[in-house]
Amino acid sequence: MVGIGYDIHRLVENRALYLGGVKIDFDRGLIGHSDGDVLLHAICDALLGAANLGDIGQHFPPDDNQYKNITSNKILIKTNKFLENSGLITKNIDAVVIAEHPKILPYVSAMKKNIATILNIPENAISIKGKTNEQLGEIGEGKAIAVWAICEVESIYASSQG
């Protein structure tokens, strides 16, 4: 089963930037009810979609104060629990981070390690790529970061047979 996820957040001053659960050295961060980690949010949406379990907004509503300033690592941990409770595991992830700045390549290894640890999958089952928006639109002007992610999940029973 396959799911697709998307997220976009505006960059603002006086806020730390987190992508893939990793703190990025940058002069601005992503605004959001949580830490604004668009990479983990898109991955969570893709996982939930693949499992037919709704979306991140249903499980972690932005108007629910229990999720105010929550780390997206915790959101991914809870999302993984939803999958496990449904008898599913993550098979692989492919994500595209769209941002003019910062360049994410120096952080990709740490992001993959963090995500792999949370989901208990090998790092080589995760692909994270950085792309610019060629200076077009809000992203291209450096005002936002967006992510597209696609994930495959499978039944724990299928993986144990194979």
User: 137 pLDDT exceeds 90?
Assistant: yes
* Residue 51 structural domain: 2-161
* CATH number assigned to the domain comprising residue 128: 3.30.1330.50
Q: How far is CA 10 from CA 36, 109, 144, in A?
A: 9, 24, 4
In contact, 162 and 122? CB cutoff 8 Å: no
Residue 160 pLDDT level (bands cut at 50, 70, 90): low
The total of structural domains in the chain comes to 1
What's the average model confidence in pLDDT over 37-49? Answer: 98
Residue 159 pLDDT level (bands cut at 50, 70, 90): low
